[in-house]
């Protein structure tokens, strides 16, 4: 795995909290920050993918497919809430 360095300026209060959190997780501050960054990047990518899929969604096609469903009633606990 290739790594790079980036000089990061962080407010002292956030750095102290990050150090505490890293110690609590039993990891280095570097690993904690790298993992937090990876989680954020992953969340942004997932949001983009889901937004694109939602944009392409077709409610008519969905309703068509659902109307062909088996006709068996929902299992216990799977019912839609009544309005």
Question: What is the pTM for the complete model shown?
Answer: 0.65
Residue 2 — left, alpha, or beta (φ > 0 → left; ψ -120 to 50 → alpha)? beta
Tally of helices (H runs) and strands (E runs) in the chain: 3, 0
pLDDT in tens, 37-59: 999 999 999 999 999 999 999 99
Largest CA distance in the chain: 60
What pLDDT, on the 0 to 100 scale, is given for residue 78? 87
What pLDDT, on the 0 to 100 scale, is given for residue 67? 85
Would you call 12 exposed, middle or buried from its count of C-beta atoms within 10 A (0-12, 13-18, 19+)? exposed
Residue 80 pLDDT exceeds 90: no
Residue 70 pLDDT exceeds 80: no
pLDDT confidence tier of residue 26, bands split at 50, 70 and 90 = very high
């Amino acid at each position: 795995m290739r790594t790079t360095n980036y000089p990061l300026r962080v407010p002292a209060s956030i750095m102290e909290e990050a150090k505490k959190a890293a110690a609590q997780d039993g990891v280095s501050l570097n690993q904690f920050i790298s993992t937090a960054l990876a989680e954020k990047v992953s969340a942004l990518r997932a949001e983009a993918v889901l937004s694109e899929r939602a944009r392409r969604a077709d409610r008519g096609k969905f309703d068509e497919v659902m109307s062909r469903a088996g006709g068996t009633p929902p299992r216990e606990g799977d019912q839609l809430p009544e309005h």
